[in-house]
Amino acid sequence: MSTNATSARAKLSLPVSERDHIIGPEDAPVTLVEYGDYECPYCGAAHLIVKEVQKVMGNSLRFVFRHFPLTQIHPHAEVAAEAAESAGAQNRFWEMHDLLYANQQLLDPAHLVGFAEELTLDTVKFARELRDHVHHEHVREDFTSGVRSGVNGTPAFFINGFRYDGSWQFGPLLKALEDGSVDANAI
Amino acid sequence: MVERTENENPNCGSALKAETTAPDFTLSSGPDEKVSLSDFRGRPVILAFYPADWSPVCGDQMALYNEVLPEFKRFNAELLGVSVDGVWCHQAYREHRNLHFRLLSDFEPKGEVARTYGVYRHGEGVTERALFVIDGEGRIAWSYVSPIEVNPGADGILNALESLSGKEVANVDKRNKRESQTKSASL
Q: Which of A5, A40, A152 sits opposite B159 (nearest CB)?
A: A5
Contacts of A110-114 with CB under 8 Å at 24 or more apart are A112/A79, A112/A80, A112/A83
Residue B141 lies in a domain: yes
Nearest Cα residue in chain B from A42: B58
Cα–Cα distances (Å) from A143 to A13, A135, B139, in that order, read: 11, 13, 30
Cα–Cα distance between B182 and B67 in angstroms, integer? 46
Task: Indicate the pairing of strand A156-159 with strand B129-134.
Answer: unpaired
Report pTM: 0.86
Residue B25 neighbours by CB distance under 10 Å: 18
| Selection from B84, B89, B102, B110 nearest residue B36 by Cα | B102
Positions in chain B whose pLDDT score sits under 70: 1-13, 57-59, 168-187
Residue B14 lies in a domain: no
Q: Flag if A152 and B100 touch (Cβ within 8 Å).
A: no
**Which residues on B lie below 8 Å from A40 (Cβ)?**
58
- DSSP letter string, A41-76: HHHHHHHHHHHHHHHHHGGGEEEEEEE---TTT-TT
**Which residues on A lie below 8 Å from B159 (Cβ)?**
5
CATH of the domain at B96: 3.40.30.10
To the nearest whole Å, the CA of A137 is away from the closest chain B CA by 13
Residue B3 lies in a domain: no
Residues of the domain holding B51: 26-186
* Domain A21-186: top CATH class: alpha beta
* More confident of the two residues A72 and B5: A72
Nearest Cα residue in chain B from A11: B155
pLDDT digits (tens, 9 = 90+) for A76-105: 999 999 999 999 999 999 999 999 999 999
**Which residues on B lie below 8 Å from A73 (Cβ)?**
57-58, 60, 63, 97-98
The pLDDT of residue A180? 83
Q: What is the dihedral of CA A64, B147, B13, B5, to 10 degrees?
A: 140
Q: SS3 for A89? A: helix
Average pLDDT, chain A: 93
Residue B13 lies in a domain: no
- Indicate the helix (H) or strand (E) that contains A30: strand A30-36
The pLDDT of residue A161? 95
**Could you tell me if the ipTM is greater than 0.95?**
no
Number of domains in chain B: 1
Nearest Cα residue in chain A from B57: A73
Q: Where are the domains of chain A?
A: 21-186
Residue B11 lies in a domain: no
Residue B44 lies in a domain: yes
